[in-house]
Amino acid sequence: MAPEIISNAVYIFRGFLSPEQCDEVLAHFDDKERYIAETLSYNFNSKDNNSSPDAKVESKSRKGHVKFMNDVYDLPHGEKITMALDHYSSETGIVTYPDHVIFQLGIYDEPGDHFIWHPDHSISISNFNDEVRKVSASLQLTDPSEYEG
């Protein structure tokens, strides 16, 4: 399945998973621990860029809950998700590591819950290694007719 390329940074794979496959992915997270969704606000003028003592939790960028898992081979259809990331990597030259993938399920069950564009950290040559998130992907699991926004 070829993606729709919006820009060199945005690829859209329409119809990537069937509704039944989306339900399987959602069900897989049922027993995972639920956390309050947070983002950090960084002081990008600090010398270390990434772990500034001025970093603080903020909710302007995100409100809701999350669940995590990091085993791509345990997630239903994880191989297919990895293949999409590999396709993106081969097109852009950005190297991804399947064993460094962290799946984050965003849960938005209250009016006003949201997740907007935000920087994860400041990248510099000194901190650009395999542990730094270079690619973020979103997989729409809920039918758009089931919510507003």
Q: Is 103 exposed, middle or buried (0-12, 13-18, 19+ CB in 10 A)?
A: buried
Residue-wise pLDDT for 81-112, tens only, equals 888 888 888 888 877 776 777 888 989 888 88
Please determine, for residue 37, whether its predicted confidence score (pLDDT) is greater than 50.
yes
Residues 18 and 9: their CA atoms lie apart, in Å, by 24
> Quick one: pLDDT at residue 97?
73
pLDDT above 90: percentage of residues in the chain? 13
pLDDT at residue 24 is higher than 90: yes
Average pLDDT of span 61-77? 85
Q: How far is Cα 12 from Cα 45, in angstroms, rounded to an integer?
A: 34
pLDDT confidence band for 41 (50 / 70 / 90): low
Q: Considering only residues 38 and 43, tell me which one the structure prediction assigns the higher pLDDT.
A: 38
Q: DSSP letter for 13, please.
A: -
What is the pLDDT at residue 22?
92
Residue 36: pLDDT over 50? yes
Average pLDDT of the chain? 77
Q: What is d(CA 114, CA 109) in angstroms, rounded to the nearest whole number?
A: 10
Which contacts of 120-129 are long-range, i.e. CB under 8 A and separated by 24 or more positions?
Answer: 121/42, 121/49, 121/50, 122/42, 122/44, 122/49, 122/50, 123/49, 124/49, 126/49, 127/48, 127/49, 127/50
pTM (global) more than 0.75: no
Residue 53: band (very low, low, confident or very high) from pLDDT cuts 50, 70, 90: very low
Per-residue pLDDT at 21 exceeds 90:
yes
Do the Cβ atoms of 27 and 69 come closer than 8 Å?
no
* Selected residue with higher pLDDT from 90 and 46: 90
Mapped onto helix, strand or coil, the DSSP state of residue 36 is: strand
